Amino acid sequence: MSLRRLGTSLLLACGVLGAGATPQQTLVVAAFPAVDEIIRAALPAFKREHPEAQVRVLSRSFEDHHTVLVTALSTASNLPDVMVLEEGYIGRFAAGARLVDLSQEPYLIKQQQARFAPFAFSQATAPSGAVVAVPSDIGPGTLLYRVDVLKAAGVTEAELTQSWDSYIAAGVKIKAATGVSLLPHARNLAEIMMRAGIQPGDGQYFGANNQVLVESPRFVQAFEWALRLRKMNLDAGQTAWSAGWMDAIQHAKVATVMSGAWMQGHFAHWVAPQGKGLWRAAQLPQASWNTWGGTFYTIPKGSKNKKLAWEFIRFMTMNAPVQLNAFKSQAAFPALLEAYQDEFFDQPIDYLGGQRARLLWREAAKHIAPVAVHELDLEARIVVSNELNKVLDQGKAIAPALHDARLTLERLLRSGAAQP
C-alpha cells in the first residue's frame, strides 16, 4: 500500500471530521412565503443544536408549492424531508396514507397534544385517527374595523359585535351616513356562519359518517344571510386579494373586514400601511369563534431523513422562542400554548392605534372548537362558493343551489377525486 493510500485509509478509519463527529446530513424542507422566511430566521439556532445538519429550503408561491407536493406524493419522487402545509390542504394530503403517522413510535406526538391549541391539533388528525402533522401557527378570527368610518356614522363597536342582526343594522347606518360598504363581500359573512355550530366529530362539509352536510340548517342560514346582505347593498362585491378588494381597504370603501388575526400584519406591512391608527380589532359578531388558515409541518413517508426531519419539526413547533420570533416578525400566531404567557401579548400594536389586540386573539384561540378535516374539504369549499355566487349574482334559489352542491360532492366522494 502506498503512503498516500495508507494516509487516506487512516483518515477514513479515524473519521475526517474527528473522533466521534457526526457526518453532515442534508435536510430538504419545502415551504411557501412567509414560512420560508420564518424557517431561515430559525436556522442559525437549529444549527447550534444540530451542527451536523445542512438545511435546504425549497420555496415556491403558495399555490405552486401545494401543486408540486401533490405531484411529488403521487409519484413518490422528488420528495422533501419536511413539507409545510396550509390548514386547508391537510385533509387532502392525509388521504392515501402518504404522510408519516406522528402518533406512532418514535414520534408519539399525542404525548405533546396538551401543548397545542386544541382545535389546531384536531386539524392535524386524519379521519383514520393518524396524526399527520404538527401545528405551527393558527389564525384566530377577528373583526377589523375603521374607527373613523364608525365615528362618522355614529356606530359603536358593540353594535358591530353584539349579534349578526346588530352587525347588519350597523351596516345600514354606516351606508346611510357615509356611503361606505359594511364588508368586502357577502361571502365573508356566509363563510363564518357555515363554520358555526358544527357538531363534535363532524367537519365543515362532511359528517363523521362521510355524509354531505351542505343542505343542513347552518348552510341554509349562511346563504340566506349573505343574500340578505347583498339585497341591502351592504357589501362591496370584492373578492379577497383582488385589485378591487385592495382598493376598497386602502381607500376606506369598506368599514369592516373579517379574517384571521394575521390579517392585521398584512394590513400593516403591505395591504394598507397608510391606514395605520385607523383600524381596530374586535371579536367576531355574536361570539362566532372561528379560524382562518394555519401552518403545519409534515413528514412524507418517502422522506430519506425522518429522524432529523422530526428534530427539525420539534424545533419549529415546540420551541416557544422560535414561535414567538415568528409571531413578532411575520404575525404568525403561535399554536404552542406556552408561548401565550409572553409579555409580547400585552404590548400595544401601533397599527391598531395602540390597542392590545393580541389579548383578544389569544382569548379567541381558546374558544375555537375542533373541526374534523376531510380529504375533499378544498373541493367542497369551491363547490359551495360557486353555488353561493350563483345565488348572489345570478338569482339562483338557495334550496336548489345547496341541492346541486350536495349532488356534486356526492359524485366526488364516489370517485375519490381528492387523493393525491
Residue 20 covered by a domain = no
Residue 389 covered by a domain = yes
250 with 379, same domain: the answer is yes
pLDDT value for 2:
38
258 with 379, same domain: the answer is yes
160 with 274, same domain: the answer is yes
pLDDT value for 69:
93
Q: Which three cell numbers stand for residue 143?
A: 373583526
Question: Quick check: 283 and 142 in contact, CB under 8 A?
Answer: yes
Calculate the average pLDDT of the chain: 92
Domain hosting 198: range is 154-291+374-415
In eight-state DSSP terms, residue 198 is P
pLDDT value for 16:
37
Residues 295-301, mean pLDDT to the nearest whole number: 96
Residue 356 covered by a domain = no
273 with 406, same domain: the answer is yes
Cis peptide bond N-terminal to 34, omega within 30: yes
287 with 297, same domain: the answer is no
Question: Quick check: 189 and 259 in contact, CB under 8 A?
Answer: no
Q: Which three cell numbers stand for residue 17?
A: 471530521
Percent of the chain with pLDDT over 90: 84
Grid cell 401545494 is found at 66
Distance CA 37, CA 47 (A): 16
The number of folded domains in the chain is: 2
287 with 313, same domain: the answer is no
201 with 262, same domain: the answer is yes
**pLDDT tier for residue 244 given thresholds of 50, 70 and 90:** very high
165 with 277, same domain: the answer is yes
**pLDDT tier for residue 197 given thresholds of 50, 70 and 90:** confident
Residue 378 covered by a domain = yes
pLDDT value for 14:
37
pLDDT value for 76:
82
Q: Which three cell numbers stand for residue 39?
A: 424557517
By DSSP bridging, strand 53-59 and strand 25-31 are parallel
C-alpha triplet 77, 79, 84: angle, nearest 5°:
150
Among candidates 123, 53, 69, which has minimal Cα distance to 302? 69
Q: Is 127 buried (19+), middle (13-18) or exposed (0-12) by CB count in 10 A?
A: middle
- Sign of the Cα pseudo-torsion (141, 146, 149, 151, in order): positive
Residues 337-345, mean pLDDT to the nearest whole number: 96
The answer, yes or no, to whether residue 319 has pLDDT greater than 70, is yes
pLDDT digits 0-9 by tens, 64-114: 999 999 899 888 888 999 999 999 899 888 887 889 999 999 999 999 999
pLDDT value for 22:
53
Q: Which of 307, 334, 350 is the last residue of a domain?
A: 350
178 with 287, same domain: the answer is yes
By DSSP bridging, strand 25-31 and strand 82-86 are parallel
Residue 357 covered by a domain = no
pLDDT digits 0-9 by tens, 356-414: 999 999 999 999 999 989 999 999 999 999 999 999 999 999 999 999 999 999 999 99
134 with 29, same domain: the answer is yes
312 with 383, same domain: the answer is no
Q: What is the pTM of this model?
A: 0.89
The answer, yes or no, to whether residue 13 has pLDDT greater than 50, is no
Find the CATH number of the domain harbouring 341.
3.40.190.10
Q: Which three cell numbers stand for residue 290?
A: 372561528
Question: Quick check: 86 and 295 in contact, CB under 8 A?
Answer: yes
The answer, yes or no, to whether residue 185 has pLDDT greater than 80, is yes
pLDDT value for 420:
52
Among candidates 317, 282, 305, 288, which has minimal Cα distance to 116? 317
Residue 145 covered by a domain = no
177 with 125, same domain: the answer is no
pLDDT value for 132:
96
Find the range with the poorest average confidence among 6-10, 186-190, 268-272: 6-10
Residue 6 covered by a domain = no
Looking from the CA of 130 toward its CB, the CA atoms found within 13 Å total: 20
Residue 108 covered by a domain = yes
pLDDT digits 0-9 by tens, 37-48: 999 999 999 999
Among candidates 407, 381, 370, which has minimal Cα distance to 190? 381
The answer, yes or no, to whether residue 297 has pLDDT greater than 70, is yes
